[in-house]
Amino acid sequence: MADLLRLLLRVAEKAANVARVCRQEGPLFELLVQEKTGDDKNKKFVQDFKTLADVVIQEMIRHDVGAQFPEMAAFIHGEESNKFENGLGESVTVTVCATQEETAALLAAVLDGDHTAASLLARAIHQDPASIDADTDGLTLPVGPSELGIWIDPIDATSQYIEGREEVLEEGHLAPSGLHCALVLIGVYLRSTGEPVMGVINQPFNHKDPAGGGWRGKHFWGVSCGGVDVCSVSRPKGGAGLSAVLSSSEKPVVKEALTALCGADKLMYASGAGYKILCVIQGLADVYVLSEGSTFKWDSCAPHALLRALGGGVADLTKCLRSGSGAQDPQIELTYHQPCAECKGAERWANRGGLVAYRDRSQLLAAVGPLKDKLLV
């Protein structure tokens, strides 16, 4: 399975390139940011462009993984459908074609004949990425590709990606918003149990090249399967007291309970579901608590695998609240293989019970404790 990990690191880097190119190349950037000033028709078109960038990345990953591991092709899922209707009312199915020229022609049909934008996008999709250093030698896992499925989030925290604020990251500190919150997330789960077993996270906008060469990314990966736990991030040392990261739109009652528990200076806010879990992975926060069902399997699968490799996990908050004293039950962990039967559309794959991401089970219990009488009615 080292082959699969290397491939995912490679396609995630390709995805990060596409994300960077869409901001760097004038004609693509124009399409990304037009929304703020455009009229209604324009708005719809630009909305489609953002979705198109997501779909193109998703289809590129599907194409590359399906080519090397055909057994996985039918089990590669993402947020987007690849069927589009263009301004002329024509329906176009976006796929990655055999050649750059063919892909460009297909994209031009979706982009209402904008050949410049279509060619730039096609070039990024077909370009080989820079090689990725990852010490995966000797990594063998007791599972084969026919037992695995994949969740892709092509660009998590899209709003931060579009807004494009450039923050300078300070070592050891979380920065609440900005381009660095945008992440490419690729998670692998076991089809039989739904456990997340491998995750790749690529942060396309980690830092600016000091020599003026534009944005540079950073990648993270983890594997947790059959007794093998390996993560590219070493387990951070815990500090004194508990720190938590929340969505700024979290319920006031949760904010109050966690302020009382952590202290105002250890309660932080950040954008992006994936970025908040990455903060827990990196030790910038101890837990990420979310009381709403506003994240989806594609948001949590990849970073969940890294947390498992570090001895932590991502639990269903509602199940934790109901599980009585222990929260020791392995059933409280989020799984990735079964949709919600009574839901429709994207909701079928929502993490409906909310979540808690943690490195340490005792910290999970500490964070959930004060929420019991606030959220369970």
Q: Which residues bind ligand 2IP (CB under 6 A)?
A: 153, 156-158, 247, 249, 271-273, 294-295, 299
What are the structure tokens assigned to 274, written together? 């994936």
Pick the catalytic residue from 299, 316, 333, 360: 299
Contacts of 166 (CB under 8 A, 6+ apart): 178, 179, 205, 208
Reported as half-sphere exposure (CB side, CA atoms, 13 A), residue 259 has a value of 9
Nearer to ligand 2IP, 223 or 267 (CB): 267
Q: By the 8 A CB rule, do 197 and 182 touch?
A: no
40 tagged catalytic: no
156 tagged catalytic: yes
- 352 to each of 51, 68, 159, 228, 319, how far by Cα in Å? 24, 34, 22, 29, 11
Q: Is 43 exposed, middle or buried (0-12, 13-18, 19+ CB in 10 A)?
A: middle
57 tagged catalytic: no
- Residue 59 found at the interface with Ca ion (CB under 5 A): no
64 tagged catalytic: no
Helix/strand/coil for 239? coil
With CB under 5 to 8 Å by kind, the binding choice for 247 among Ca ion, ligand 2IP, none is ligand 2IP
373 tagged catalytic: no
- Residue 299 found at the interface with Ca ion (CB under 5 A): yes
Closest residue (Cβ) to ligand 2IP?
A: 247
With CB under 5 to 8 Å by kind, the binding choice for 158 among Ca ion, ligand 2IP, none is ligand 2IP
Minimum separation from the CB atom of position 155 to Ca ion (A): 8
Minimum separation from the CB atom of position 58 to Ca ion (A): 12
- Residue 316 found at the interface with Ca ion (CB under 5 A): no
Q: Which stretch binds Ca ion (CB under 5 A): 151-159, 242-250, 284-292, 354-362?
A: 151-159
- The torsion of the CA quartet 287, 290, 293, 298, rounded to 10 degrees, works out to -40
- Residue 54 found at the interface with Ca ion (CB under 5 A): no
152 tagged catalytic: no
Nearer to ligand 2IP, 114 or 153 (CB): 153
Ramachandran area for residue 244 (φ above 0: left; ψ -120 to 50: alpha; else beta): beta
- Residue 250 found at the interface with Ca ion (CB under 5 A): no
What are the structure tokens assigned to 114, written together? 């904008």
Amino acid at 128: D
Q: By the 8 A CB rule, do 320 and 173 touch?
A: no
133 tagged catalytic: no
Among 48, 54, 59, 153, binds Ca ion (CB under 5 A): 153
CA 321 to chain centre: 26
Q: Which stretch binds Ca ion (CB under 5 A): 69-77, 250-258, 291-299, 346-354?
A: 291-299
Residues of the shown chain interacting with Ca ion in the complex, contacts defined by CB under 5 A: 153, 156, 299
Residues with a catalytic annotation lie at 54, 79, 153, 155-156, 158, 299
